[in-house]
Amino acid sequence: MNAAEHRLEPLLRSLEVRSNLDEADRQALRDLPFKVRTLDASTYILREGDLPESCAILISGFAYRQKLTGDGARQIIALHITGDPLDFQHLFLDVADHSIQMLTHGAVAMIPRKDIQHLVHTRPAIASAVVSNILVDSSISREWVLNVGRRDARARLAHLLCEFGSRMGALGLGGPDSCELPITQEQLADATGLTSVHVNRTLKALEAAGLIARSKRMISFPDWTRLREVGDFSARYLHLQIQESG
């Protein structure tokens, strides 16, 4: 990363995956006031029940959304990567209905609600980008319901990995056949509605079948085509403007 790069540049890249902004829109976004908070892994960005007054944008690292059942079981609801807006929801709703936590060390830009609201009201292209972002998050949630509800462990994990790889690829993070995946097997279990033990066994099976390879916090996809088949993955629901191989 260019040391002099504007801190909100990842947000622009993320929005421009799906929406067209002109130079004035881009500049208006760059001119937003914001505070950067550097956060360690597992720090809460937002807690269920909060009434946030500013909007968090993930400008480096990874994060996730989660909900808990009454008896403490955890479900990860979404994964987020550098550039993702985490909080557009609270431009329109008051109470947070879920929590957001850092997955890795990273940084977040906090932008006052009213400043983004002002841009949304004055710049149609930005309003459209904001709502599109909200809608794509919503589409991903629906796909997760299908994934958790109707696919077996093998397909479920393969699908999750395909989604992650595709989204990383669309943002230019990670090469065509490998990317960073800094997540524990327990978190993977919480994202897929499985047990960490079963995730471990299923991951090993995928690896033995030559569909993935793991090392440290990286994952690679030696046979992307077959991984997509196994995971029953089609990228349509991600609404990427350029439909890629994944």
Partner DNA sequence: CGTACGTTTGATCTTTCTCAATAATGGTGG
Partner DNA sequence: CCACCATTATTGAGAAAGATCAAACGTACG
Residues of this chain that interact with DNA (CB under 7 A) are 152-154, 156, 184-186, 193-198, 200-201, 203-204, 216
Show the tokens assigned to 133.
């972002």
3-class SS of residue 103: coil
Choice between 184 and 241, CB closer to DNA = 184
Site string for a copy of itself, 7-46 (x = CB under 8 A): ----------------------------------------
Query: Which of DNA, a copy of itself, none lies near 236, with the C-beta cut-off 5 to 8 A by kind?
Result: a copy of itself
**Cα separation of the two ends of the chain:** 25
- Give strand ranges (E) for 88-175: 99-102, 106-112
User: Do β-strands 106-112 and 213-215 pair in parallel, antiparallel, or remain unpaired?
Assistant: unpaired
204 binds, among a copy of itself, DNA, none (CB under 5 to 8 A by kind): DNA
Round to whole Å and give the CA distance between 159 and 146.
Answer: 11
Min dist. Cβ of residue 11 to DNA (A) = 27
Contact partner, 105, from DNA, a copy of itself, none, Cβ < 5-8 Å per class: none
Smaller CB distance to a copy of itself: residue 50 or 180? 50
196 binds, among a copy of itself, DNA, none (CB under 5 to 8 A by kind): DNA
Tokens 């890795």 belong to 104
Query: Encoding tokens for residue 138?
Result: 């919503």
Residue 76 neighbours by CB under 8 Å, 6+ apart: 64, 65, 66, 187, 190, 191
